[in-house]
Amino acid sequence: MSPLKIKPGKKPARLKPANAYPARDPRLEDTSTHPFPLRNALNPTASDEGSTFPMLAVITAPPQFLGERLKPLELKRYAAALPEPGDPASESVRVAYSSPRGGTLDSPVDQNDSVAPPLPRAYGRVWEKGYPVAAEKPGLVDMLRPMLEPSLLTKETAAWVLPYPLRGHQVDAVNALMGNDIFFLADDPGTGKSVAACVALASKIQSGMVRRALFITSVSGLRTAAQTLRHWAPGMLVTAVRESSDQRALDWEIPAHIYLVDYATLTNDIEQEVLPNHLWDFDLILIDEVQTSGLGIQKFPGALQQLSSSIRWVLAGALPQEAEDWISLFSFLTPDQVSGTAGITLPDLRKRFKPYVLRRTKAELGRNLPQRTRQEIWVELDASHRKFYEEALAESRFTLNQLGDALTPTHIDANVDRVKQAITFEGEKLDGAKIRALVDLMEQISASGSKAVIFTHFRENGLERLQPVLEPYGVLRLDKETPEDKRLKILDAFRSQSHWHALLIEVGTRTGDEPLVEASYIIHVDHSWNPGVRLRAELRLHPAIFRAVAVHVYELWVADTIEEKIYMLLRERGLLPAEIPEDTSPVDVEEKITKEEWLQRILEIPVGEEPRRVAVAKPSGSGVLPGTSVLREKLSALSPDTLMAAVETFIKALGYPEVEPLDDPDEEGGYLLAWRQAEGIVERILVRCIRVSGNVGVAKGRALLKAMQTRGDCVGAYLVTTSDFTASLKTFADESGGDLALVSGTELYRHLHILGQF
């Protein structure tokens, strides 16, 4: 196998010899399960039912071992205790068969008829007196089963078990993980590193090296991780730790091969002893979707340092950019290597940890990646947001039912759009399950230095509210009413200036004839049910005749809402975007869902009775941030030094790690100079903070741009205020071609709130 390069231009670091297919003549030691057939004696055979083969899968252990904690490395002791044929005790031994089909091995998990990936449990659950109780607990046989199934590391059997062949760079990633107990895989988002990690994890369990693993991801990544494990770690018992504290305590206690949990839940369960300390011992900890900025990395080391594991893997979309972030990351991965790093430079840290790191960009992988991949990210509403959604849905049902014979498709579209907006945002909050998933994606994409286009169908509850959410990543926006000359300036700025990572577009907006190859990621926040609309928007950016880059498309969906019902109907009819030609016109699909199906299958309006009317509560304030007047008072109450320190924190969160005051702050504010360095180029911005009670006018914007131009060393300027801006100043900033960015008091407070400053 060719050496793996950590980064272009650097000396390649060789990894251990390959263990995963298609390595030449792999030699895998068979686990002794005498007197049963060895793994290499189980010959695949075709059947009339498709790609299946019989496989010895389940063995019931002798009575003396029932209930004993599994110790896979002592399989020979279990085998020696099995009775000989003819022995009366042999009746306690049971053999069963299983037929896997492309990574869909059955396991005792909670199933439902939804299309969203289910969050599994390795056991059945019943309720007794209002408390969850385990039923059908996995026993020793269930825990041994993966070791008796075909190995994922051999070419002959992997083709029968995995849903698709691994790509070459994924095989290299599997080898790297299998060969290193401590490893940091930092490939670009969308390159399949989570798939490789799941295959490596399953292989570790099959080999007996891991009996109890912990898989940590974000809340928005739970269902995606569960689906990846189901298909790429087939046959493993997985428990997603969730719901109430009583339920989570039960989840942790019942045996499983893999425990899936989000960062916040794990931290809480450790601190509140929901996860008792006698269960803190894991053989492997895998952390996915790690944010490589200081804000993201600080999420987990404290709680995780209390857990024990000999194998630790971390996945991220980019390398850390600051020395303290490297130290924070590797204080978890390999604490003994972190000692003595105080004051060490970033290049020296990269050199020290190079043996543990594999980083590959989309550009480096090139033709190894498909031209276009599509990934659905399923999230779920929390209790408060679900109440708001259900109220909006009930009100729309009532409205449509009252129309009677006057009901038209236009009425249905308007009410469905209203409900969709209630799914994305909860009331006046700049928050929601989709918003958190979007932020998680943009953290990874921007950290990797890549760019993304974000599509929305709505103006007020789309563009206007998503823009401040995406501000930390450098966002530009286009809508249908953007003048052509301004549109061209915005597109040129997005293409040429590296600090713009997000382009927010209203669906239907023209983007010109030139492909937008700079954006290798597309995110649909809210989407038309008509797949032709989505495909047409994507093709405008990346025409089929010009595919110079590998494009990864994300679609955000919310489980247990009308979005899931729409998805289910489209799937039944083969109308998902991945299932129809890319050049499908929206007109070809628009009549595929009838009015009756909208009313009965999607909106579920009762036939023959009037739906209950629910008045949607009018929220006061945002529910998260204080009202505008209170917010301004809070910011105005800060001392000049504290305010400028808060602005400095905000600017660093935007991606400018170096910030220098240009003057002593006074009651009105002050100036800052911020900069960052990438590939030897220094990018500077001028920042002006103004503390006022009224709105800031256009004169302040002109003065700041003039000051920036006078300096001659800045690529742009940020005007930050504790209040807001006049309409004329907002227009002036929009027409500056990206040279002037405005940050209102609301946006400043929100981001400082996220950073923990308020």
* Torsion, CA 351, CA 352, CA 354, CA 359, rounded to 10: -80
Burial (CB count within 10 angstroms: exposed 0-12, middle 13-18, buried 19+), residue 547: middle
Token pair for 95: 């053999």
CB 58 within 8 Å of CB 169:
no
Choice between 130 and 467, residue whose per-residue pLDDT is larger: 467
First-residue to last-residue Cα distance in the chain: 52
Identify the pLDDT of residue 391.
Answer: 92
Identify the pLDDT of residue 345.
Answer: 85
Instruction: Please state whether 756 falls in left (phi above 0), alpha (psi between -120 and 50) or beta.
Output: left
Q: What is the mean pLDDT of residues 689-717?
A: 89
Rg (CA), the chain: 28
CB 387 within 8 Å of CB 606:
no
Output 154-160 pairs: Cβ under 8 A, ≥24 positions apart.
154/21, 154/26, 154/28, 155/21, 155/22, 155/26, 156/44, 157/44, 158/21, 160/44, 160/51, 160/53, 160/100
Strands (E), 186-310: 213-217, 238-240, 258-262, 284-290
Identify the pLDDT of residue 114.
Answer: 59
Q: Which residues are CB-neighbours of 243 under 8 A, at least 6 positions away?
A: none
Question: DSSP of 172-226, one letter per residue?
Answer: HHHHHHHT-SEEEE-PPTTSSHHHHHHHHHHHHHHTTS-SSEEEEE-GGGHHHHH
Residues 85-101: b if buried by 16+ CB within 10 A, e if exposed:
eeeeeeeebeeeebbbb
Identify the pLDDT of residue 228.
Answer: 95
CB 593 within 8 Å of CB 600:
no
Residues in the chain: 758
CB 352 within 8 Å of CB 324:
no
Percent of the chain with pLDDT over 90: 42
Say if residue 65's pLDDT is above 70.
Answer: no
Burial (CB count within 10 angstroms: exposed 0-12, middle 13-18, buried 19+), residue 27: exposed
Q: Which residues are CB-neighbours of 543 under 8 A, at least 6 positions away?
A: 515
Q: What is the mean pLDDT of residues 580-591?
A: 87
Say if residue 463's pLDDT is above 90.
Answer: yes
- Alpha-carbon gap, residue 226 to 328, rounded angstroms: 27
Distances (CA, A) of 278 to 308, 332, 758: 11, 20, 36
* DSSP-derived secondary structure letter, 221: G
Summarize pLDDT for 711-754 with one digit per residue, the tens. 888 989 999 988 888 888 888 888 888 889 998 887 777 666 55
Token pair for 407: 């009901």
Q: What is the mean pLDDT of residues 471-480?
A: 92
Amino acid (one-letter) located at 516: L
Closest CA relative to residue 717, chosen from 658, 661, 673 = 673
Say if residue 403's pLDDT is above 50.
Answer: yes
Summarize pLDDT for 183-232 with one digit per residue, the tens. 999 999 999 999 999 999 999 999 999 999 999 999 999 999 999 999 99
Identify the pLDDT of residue 38.
Answer: 33
- Helices then strands, counting H and E runs in the chain, come out as 26, 22
Other beta carbons within 10 angstroms of residue 43's beta carbon come to 9
Token pair for 50: 């498709």
Distances (CA, A) of 120 to 112, 226, 256, 270: 10, 7, 11, 21
Identify the pLDDT of residue 634.
Answer: 62
pTM value?
0.69
Choice between 600 and 78, residue whose per-residue pLDDT is larger: 600
Summarize pLDDT for 22-37 with one digit per residue, the tens. 433 333 333 333 333 3
